Amino acid sequence: MQDNAASQQARHHVETMYAQDACAQNMGMHIEHIDVGFARLSMKIIPSMLNGHQSCHGGILFSLADTAFAYACNSEGLAAVASSGSIDFICPVLVDDQLTATASVQHQGKTTGLYDVEITNQAGNVVALFRGRAHRVGHHISDNSLNNDFVNNDPLNNTQKNRQGEQS
């Protein structure tokens, strides 16, 4: 893990994101540990998260993994968004299971990063594996101009690029 100052800063960046993350809060996700390039979250599976087979819906697991991934790749304070993500479901997850998602950086370049997330249950069994690719958008997570791009559903500012292309 990183030195104390870097760890504290990483936690501050993630707590700033979590405070605005209605999805994570409404799904009952809790931050367990944050460090630079690392995030561990927990979540209990409740009945409303079950699919027709009475096991946890895969989208719920993807959301947990994606959130851990997001916190790990934004922990340095440089705003990053997912450019791709994939998940492998290893075994069923049932109601009342307590899950832990652990995300860690595998590679972080200037603008792109690769992160792995392992989701385990209360017995320590791996239930899903996720891999995400991140793209840094060129802003700090506290930069207000970034929020304007997200409000317009355009974190990479492609609308402006597309408009310029249409005018050519």
Angle at CA 75, nearest 5°, toward 74 and 79?
A: 25
Residues 6+ apart with CB under 8 A from 67: 21, 23, 24, 29, 41, 101
Three-class DSSP category at 125: coil
Please give the pLDDT value at position 111: 96
- pLDDT (mean) for 10-33: 97
How confident is the model over 38-83, as pLDDT tens digits?
Answer: 999 999 999 999 999 999 999 999 999 999 999 999 999 999 999 9
In sequence order, the β-bridge partners of residue 108 are 113
Look at residue 149 and tell me whether its pLDDT is greater than 90.
no
Please give the pLDDT value at position 3: 73
Please give the pLDDT value at position 156: 55
- List the domains of the chain with CATH numbers: 1-138 (3.10.129.10)
- Residue 1: CB atoms within 10 A of its CB come to 11
Task: Grade residue 2 by pLDDT with cuts at 50, 70 and 90.
Answer: low
Look at residue 143 and tell me whether its pLDDT is greater than 80.
no
Look at residue 164 and tell me whether its pLDDT is greater than 80.
no
CA–CA dist 141, 117 (Å, integer): 22
Please give the pLDDT value at position 145: 46
Q: Quick one: which of 96, 93, 71 has its CA closest to 81?
A: 71
How confident is the model over 82-133, as pLDDT tens digits?
Answer: 999 999 999 999 999 999 999 999 999 999 999 999 999 999 999 999 999 9
Q: Answer whether 0.75 is exceeded by the pTM.
A: yes
- pLDDT (mean) for 6-25: 96
DSSP secondary structure code for residue 111 in this structure: S
